[in-house]
Amino acid sequence: MTFDLTPEQDQLRDAVRALGRRYGHSYFVAKAKAGEHTTELWAEAGRLGYLGVNIPTEYGGGGGGITELAIVCEELAASGCPLLLLVVSPAIAATVLARHGTEEQRKRHLPGLADGSQKIVFAITEPEAGSNFHRLGTVARRDGDGWLLNGRKCYISGVDEADHVLVVARTEDSSTGKLKPALFLVPTDVAGLTRSKLDMEIVSPENQFLLYLDDVRLPADALVGESLDAGLPALFAGLNPERITVAAMGAGTGRYAIERASEYTATRKVWGGRSIGSHQGVSHPLAHAAVQVELARLMIQKAATLYDAGRDLEAGVAGNMAKYAAGEAAALAVDTAVQVLGGAGMTTEYGVATLLGAVRAGRIAPVSREMILNFVAQHVLGQDKSY
């Protein structure tokens, strides 16, 4: 057992950190408040190969795994630039296509995902079903040689930046008559697909949308994989990387908040010239938050290692635990940073209150802390299913 990164992973971490700090949190916030996207940062990360670290080399990627992509997510977040679309496009969409897409789909999409020239977002959540794929109302039916999709999706990130949406729908199994999940690559400009932006109380350059699919006609090759049998494994192939990279982004955000707060408390002097960080009422909460973030990082490393080793069931447990731990740690770290900075903590200038909405959302999405506790109780502790 080792907790050391390889030399290549160390170099990746250092390089991504340097890139993120050249842009920084002020860039991230300015883009968000102007209603713009982090186009320059995304494009540069793509040119440098960071967006494709987990994509096979034969499709223009770096040939690494989710461990490497988690490093990218964490270090950009630790520099104040938590890019949500890293989770959606390289982690979910690229992994699904690399593992379960047809060769034609891989050749068509993976090179663009690797260099950042293409983005594919992910649509599973629905107004009634949430992310419970057993109850999804979006249905795909055969339409001659192609498909016809109808349904609604909500809280879909980055549709306005993407070329395609990876839509999770249900199809009828001709042998059983039962509905089973399937994934479809839907162009964002296809007829019948409309969107409505959701107003969110989160400072983010990435937008959330409601999607409406009304008789969206797709060719046969829009179905991900060689057959409908690819649907369920393809879906699960994307969920573990999603949890791991969301956790990495949370851990990086926690690190960023603690670093900003520690710099402030070490230099802010009142009451006789001592730094406020010399008081345990200030330093202990920060130290506690730092411990929680570091514990979350260890679970993220474990989950990513298991996933890259092909141990999917174990990675599922560890990925859920990592997401839970990082969500809690990030929220604690940002809240603690705001508290120890006092009034300065609520200003845009000091760059911590701008993360309050994002870290609070991290305890809800992509899976809530309560559903993770249900998962652990059922699959780790052997308790009866409660829902």
pLDDT digits 0-9 by tens, 72-91: 999 999 999 999 999 999 99
- The residue type found at 336 is T
Give tens-digit pLDDT for 346-387. Answer: 999 999 999 999 999 999 999 999 999 999 999 999 999 988
Q: Do residues 10 and 71 make contact, with C-beta atoms less than 8 angstroms apart?
A: no
How many whole angstroms separate alpha carbon 90 and alpha carbon 76? 14
DSSP codes of every residue in 211-228? EEEEEEEE-GGGBSSSSG
Beta-ladder partners of 179: 172
Q: In degrees rounded to 5, what are phi and psi of residue 175?
A: -80, -30
How many whole angstroms separate alpha carbon 258 and alpha carbon 297? 14
How many whole angstroms separate alpha carbon 247 and alpha carbon 253? 10
Cis geometry, peptide bond prior to residue 56 (ω within 30 degrees of 0): no
How many whole angstroms separate alpha carbon 84 and alpha carbon 89? 9
The per-residue pLDDT string of the chain (387 residues; one tens digit each, 9 = 90 and over) reads 788 899 999 999 999 999 999 999 999 999 999 999 999 999 999 999 999 999 999 999 999 999 999 999 999 999 999 999 999 999 999 999 999 999 999 999 999 999 999 999 999 999 876 667 667 889 999 999 999 999 999 999 999 999 999 999 999 765 565 778 999 999 999 999 999 999 999 999 999 999 999 999 999 999 999 888 888 899 989 999 999 999 999 999 999 999 999 999 999 998 788 999 999 999 999 999 999 999 999 999 999 999 999 999 999 999 999 999 999 999 999 999 999 999 999 999 999 999 999 999 999 999 999 999 999 999 999 999 988
Report the run of H or E that residue 150 belongs to, with start and end: strand 146-157
How many whole angstroms separate alpha carbon 211 and alpha carbon 151? 8
Among 148, 17, 3, 151, residue whose Cα is nearest residue 77: 17
Q: Which residue has the tokens 């969206």?
A: 216
How many whole angstroms separate alpha carbon 334 and alpha carbon 361? 13
Give tens-digit pLDDT for 326-338. Answer: 999 999 999 999 9
- ∠ Cα 83 249 307 (to 5°): 115
78's tokens: 């630790």
DSSP character at residue 144: T
How many whole angstroms separate alpha carbon 25 and alpha carbon 14? 18
Q: Do residues 150 and 118 make contact, with C-beta atoms less than 8 angstroms apart?
A: no
Q: Do residues 356 and 334 make contact, with C-beta atoms less than 8 angstroms apart?
A: yes
- Compute the 3-state secondary structure of the chain and give helix, strand, coil in percent, each to the nearest 5: 55, 15, 30
pLDDT given at position 3: 85
pLDDT given at position 176: 63
Among 153, 160, 113, residue whose Cα is nearest residue 136: 153
Q: Is the pTM of this model over 0.85?
A: yes
To the nearest 10 degrees (0 to 180), the angle between helices 39-47 and 103-115 is 110
How many whole angstroms separate alpha carbon 265 and alpha carbon 340? 7
How many whole angstroms separate alpha carbon 66 and alpha carbon 73? 10
Q: Which residue has the tokens 């897409």?
A: 101
